Amino acid sequence: MALSATIFKATLQISDLDRNHYAEHELILARHPSETDERMMVRLLAFALHADERLNFTRGLCVDEEPDLWQKGLADEIDVWIEVGLPDERRVRKACGRARQVWLYLYGGRAVEPWWQRNADKLRRFANLRVIELPEKATRGLAGLARRSMRLSCTVQDGEIWLSDEEQSLAVTPRIRLGPGADQS
């Protein structure tokens, strides 16, 4: 018997001063049985950073041909493709060929640096790709915010992110690996 997804509901209040996006979003996230709270919350953070009325969570881990989130245009073309984790370089290459913009949110602690060293040169050739690394301490903290029913507030200013619920607050300082403002170290 196959395990079914666990449903999470989130009310996400976003104040993104960098993009001038201020809105409240009622979201339903389906967490695949093999997905961790950390990964699910990284998907939620990615939504907050790109929030738009046409941005949607996909079937994700269940379907190889879909990203974690995407935003499609009126003609069903893929405007934004968002992946989280440490995907195979071939998957990223395919995404760059299919979407106008591709965003990759890396997380995974010490596994990120070896992944980046293996893939950086291959990924630098894609002008439509942005790669952002999320610190391990922050993504673990995100997992601590996971509840079946969540009410979260997200503020983004000057590239800094603050996410909070009624009990705790978390600061996230992403590292830009590829794209405008990339850290060249």
- What tens digit of pLDDT does each residue of 57-115 get? 997 655 567 999 999 999 999 999 999 999 999 999 999 999 999 999 999 999 999 99
CATH class of 6-178: alpha beta
pLDDT for 1 equals 47
| pLDDT score at 5 | 85
120-152: per-residue pLDDT in tens? Answer: 999 999 999 999 999 999 999 999 999 999 999
CA dist 120 and 12 (Å) reads 33
Which letter, b or e, does each residue of 23-38 get, where b requires 16 or more Cβ atoms within 10 Å of its Cβ? Answer: eebebebbbbeebebb
In sequence order, which residues have a C-beta less than 8 Å from that of residue 78 and are 6 or more positions away? 70, 71, 72, 98, 99, 100
Q: Look up the pTM and report it.
A: 0.94
Q: Residue 168, Cα to own-chain centre: how many angstroms?
A: 21
> Where do the domains of the chain lie?
6-178
Environment class of 39 (CB within 10 Å of its CB; exposed 0-12, middle 13-18, buried 19+): buried
Cα distances (Å, whole numbers) of residue 171 to 19, 88, 157: 18, 29, 11
- Six-digit token pair at 131? 């790669």
Rounded CA separation 159/155 (Å): 10
Per DSSP, helices labelled H in the chain are 37-50, 89-98, 112-123, 136-144
